[in-house]
A and B are shown apart, each in its own frame.
Chain A
Amino acid sequence: MRGRGALLLLGAIAALAAAELALPELLNRYYLTILVRILVAVLAATSLQLVNGFTGQFSIGHAGFMAVGAYVSAAFSVYLGAGWLEALQGVLPAGLARLAYFPLPLLAGGLAASLAGLAVGVPSLRLRGDYLAIATLGFGEIIRIAILNIDAVGGARGFSLSAPAGVDLRYEGIGEIGAVVALSMFVMARLVYASGGLAFRAVREDETAAEAMGIPTTRVKVEAFVVASFFAGVAGALFAHAEGYVHTNSFGFVRSFEIVVFVVLGGLGSFTGAALAAAVLTAAPELLRGLGEWRMILYSILIIVTMILRPQGLMGSRELSLRWLRRRPAAVAGGAA
């Protein structure tokens, strides 16, 4: 068991390193940018899955927490981090210095977003169903509009991650971004798929019964919300550092709604389903670009047809895992298509 785990880990690291080195050679910048956006979408979708799919709360303000992560990490890098990175580059080789620095803004963004999640979650998670959806939608907009009015991060002009000469705050390494997304998914999956994580699913199945069985439902919901906000913040931070520029337009209601679509289409209660849907639906508009104005119509039809054919989502509540691949080789072809 342990040996296999270590082997898997090594394999994953090797694969990510290979991706980091080989992909920039194989793909042009356009595809690399899309790849980064897919990874960001995957993290946003899987983190929302924790709240909507596993804990059964309907939150539709997730982009607001991405915005907090993106802006706080960007401000962190511009106002503090640039100096630290410069100092690091003085003692370490440039590549290594950047690798050592990179996690810091992500953590800053994640922590700030989780605090925002706590502030939003404590009052609004007392609400159920439709009311919670409306409250989270409102909070998402409040966060966005508040940022829009902060001059230190550019206000309506957006915020560039500009830095002194010799320091580059942009970070597009596919390997590292992939590693962050994979690690985040791993952490969330381990939280949910354990006896302690049953509390999340118990709340989803029946909140009244869960409370009556000794599960402190409010705390469990807030926990899920805070963890999900943290990883949404990390996703926002990844996005900000990969693009090198952030604007509140990227985190509006439409973005929140997209993330909900990823979660529902992937299957409520499946991290890998949400990841799959996020990847497909982020790539689809780009792949359909050749169709000109028919593009968004086809995109919408794709969503409608999927919902008709697979109302439970691509993966239902199952996970695509190595074990599953081995046990049910026949079902995989359909599931991964």
Chain B
Amino acid sequence: MSAHDLLVLEDVTVRFGGLTAVSHLNLRVGAQDLVALIGPNGAGKTTAFNVITGVYAPTSGRVALDGVEIGGWRPSRICRRGVARTFQNIRLFRGLTALENVQAALSGAHRSGLRDVLRGPAWHRHEVAHAESARGLLARLGLERFADARADALPYGEQRRLEIARALATGPKLLLLDEPAAGMNPSEKEALRGFVARVRGEFGIAIVLIDHDIPFVMNLCDRVAVLDHGEKIAEGAPEAVRRDPKVIEAYLGADGEAAQAPEGRAQRGEAERSS
């Protein structure tokens, strides 16, 4: 934790009617940190993501990015400010190609106007540069061979990767991965771990990822925060958190072994292979 934190959650509470999804959450993420947010189902992990990305406004408390309060901003504005995310149940632009998915997210892509109609030489240069940087990003993430395939025709693991590529296309400082390992088998998970570590190194960004599974985040993350019933019950180095009695209790009741924590809802979302 550096003095200048990239993301600061201070006493953030999110309430839906009588249900408190996130309660007095404090979390700090420094530039280039790799933090895991774990906890049982319904612990408020995704709600925490939603409040950071602007899907929900915090009921109370403060969300700040780079010292600027962003709580309650529209998601698109927060994204342009430098926070990108993936979704628990992959939300690609299914009918578009992999390349178009990345292109749609590249910053400045959402401007259309008269120059698109007139199409002067500057437009053509911009269009070529735009497609090239999208292709370059796909190549960096090992997805170039899928560039012209429809997103929903990609294999499941590659769809997860493409979603990360699309998030990276927005040029984030902070990347939020919502259960990137969901539905993966052990060898795919292993590959994903390497991938996440590489992304952090190569892009020099901070990453917060959600998972159920302590072993998965064990050798990957610098720090683990554990949520249960909307509250943070532990935070620290993975090894310490794993042995924390409160964490063990949250996962398995009073006695048990946290390392055998539930694998998560490992239903594999069948990637539809429509042509």
Q: Is the CB of B76 within 8 A of A211?
A: yes
Please, which residue of chain B has its CB at the minimum distance from the CB of A208? B91
In the complex the two chains form, is B112's CB within 8 Å of A194's CB? yes
Which chain B residues border A195 with CB–CB below 8 Å? 103, 106, 109, 126-127, 130-131
Q: B75's contact among A194, A196, A211, by CB below 8 Å, is which?
A: A211
Using known A-B contacts A201-B93, A202-B96, A205-B96, determine if residue A214 contacts B105 with beta carbons closer than 8 Å: yes
Inter-chain contact B93/A202, CB cutoff 8 Å? yes
Interface size counted on chain B using CB atoms at 8 A: 40
B130 and A216 within 8 A (CB): no
The residue that B95 contacts in the complex, of A217, A220, A317, with Cβ under 8 A, is A317
Does B53 count as interface, using CB distance less than 8 angstroms? yes
Q: Are B80 and A214 in contact (CB under 8 A)?
A: yes
Alpha-carbon separation in the docked complex, A205 to B94 (Å): 6
CB-CB under 8 A for A206 and B94, given A194-B112, A197-B112? yes
Contact check, B91 vs A196: say whether CB atoms are below 8 A apart: no
* Min CB–CB distance B84 → chain A (angstroms): 7
Interface contact B105-A213, CB-CB below 8 Å = yes
Is chain A's binding surface mostly helix, strand, loop or mixed?
helix
Expressed in whole angstroms, the minimum distance between the Cβ of A71 and any Cβ of chain B is 27
**Are B105 and A191 in touch, CB under 8 angstroms?**
no
Quick one: which of B156-184 are within 8 Å of A by CB? 166-167, 169-170
CA distance A206 to B167 in the complex (A): 14
Tell me the bound Cα distance from A211 to B73 in angstroms: 12
Q: Which residues of B contact A198 (CB under 8 A)?
A: 96, 100, 103-104, 109-110
A258 contacts partner chain B, Cβ-Cβ < 8 Å? no
Residues of A within 8 A of B166 (CB): 213
A318 within 8 A of B: no
Smallest Cβ-Cβ distance to B93: which chain A residue: A205
A18 CB-CB contact with B under 8 Å: no
A213 close to B170 (CB less than 8 A): yes
Chain A residues with Cβ under 8 A from B198's Cβ?
none
Interface residue from A190, A191, A213, A317 paired with B104 (Cβ < 8 Å): A213
Q: Are A191 and B91 in contact (CB under 8 A)?
A: no
Whether the Cβ atoms of B112 and A223 lie closer than 8 Å is yes
Is B93's CB under 8 angstroms from A190's CB? no
Tell whether, in the assembled complex, residue B95 and residue A201 are in contact, meaning their CB atoms are under 8 Å apart: yes
Contacts of B85 in A (CB 8 A): 212
Minimum CB–CB distance for A263 against chain B, Å: 16
CA–CA, A210 and B100, complex, Å:
12
Interface CB pairs A-B, < 8 A, 5: A195-B106, A208-B91, A209-B92, A210-B93, A215-B104
In the complex, the 8 A-B pairs of residues with the closest C-beta atoms, listed nearest first: A196-B112, A205-B93, A214-B79, A199-B110, A209-B91, A213-B105, A198-B104, A202-B104
